[in-house]
Amino acid sequence: MPIPEELAFLVARFRKVFGSTVTDTYTLNRVYVMAVTEMYRHYGYEEAARRLFEWGYVMGHSYMLRLEKDLARFNMDAPTIKLIGRMAWYMFAGNDPETLIETREEEEGTVFILRVRDPNSPWDAGLKLGKKVAHYPAGAYEAAGNTFAEIVTGGKWRTFTRNTKSVAAGDPYTELVHIMVPTSMPKERVFELFPEHFEEISYDFSDQLYKRFFKHE
């Protein structure tokens, strides 16, 4: 299927703003593996995961703001979310991932579920920790999704992204699950729809970051 003109334009703008080359995956992998290993040793798994997620959140928010004028022309729809999710992984992880998009109609509105999968993820290749470690890109995707929703809808959707599979944990691929729910959806309903989504990074931690960066009460 041909890429719509406006999406092709965004790809071009993305490359212009952030440079024309993709990430050196070997360098990224070596640096991230060293950082993760040291952080887990110093802080323990749970605290290290939160810190990595928060650092990714800061980065994702910052990068999307640099594209604010270009993103403002888009709508909140499944093809756009899928393409941006794929493009972001390619630009910042260096690989072209498998991306799957699903929509569900709930009482509050449309729920979008994006899955980004990479069997050669540079965020955890070479690590055998028995635990998921790609929390930094998960935080970046969550902030990017929230920033996108703020720009194009005025904050009518909330994003929650989690690292659900990891080659470091013995899975065949690393996976981020990126859910976007209407802001009006109660916390309890989000838990009901996605009961396993908040086992490692809590809903409340995401909520704290959201309120800090987007000043919603």
The predicted pLDDT at position 94 comes to: 82
Let me know if 217 is exposed, middle or buried by CB neighbors in 10 A (0-12, 13-18, 19+). Answer: exposed
The predicted pLDDT at position 16 comes to: 53
- Give the residue from 66, 124, 127, 63 showing the smallest Cα distance to 91: 63
> If pLDDT is split at 50, 70 and 90, which confidence band does 1 have?
very low
Is 60 exceeded by the pLDDT of residue 14? no
pLDDT top residue among 59 and 126: 59
Distance of CA 152 to the CA centre of its chain: 17
> For residues 156 and 151, what is the distance between their CA atoms, to the nearest angstrom?
10
Phi, psi of 189 (to 5 degrees): -70, -35
- Write the pLDDT tens digit of every residue in 172-182: 999 999 999 99
How many residues are listed for the chain in this entry?
217
- Give the residue from 117, 94, 96, 116 showing the smallest Cα distance to 172: 117
Helices and strands counted in the chain (H then E): 8, 4
Percent of the chain whose predicted confidence (pLDDT) is above 90: 64
Distance of CA 6 to the CA centre of its chain: 22
Which CATH number belongs to the domain containing residue 41 in this structure?
A: 3.30.1380.20
Structure tokens at 162: 């989690």
Phi, psi of 63 (to 5 degrees): -65, -40
- Write the pLDDT tens digit of every residue in 66-82: 888 888 888 899 999 99
* Number of domains comprising the chain: 1
> For residues 152 and 75, is the Cβ–Cβ distance under 8 A?
yes
Query: Domain range for residue 150?
Result: 5-214
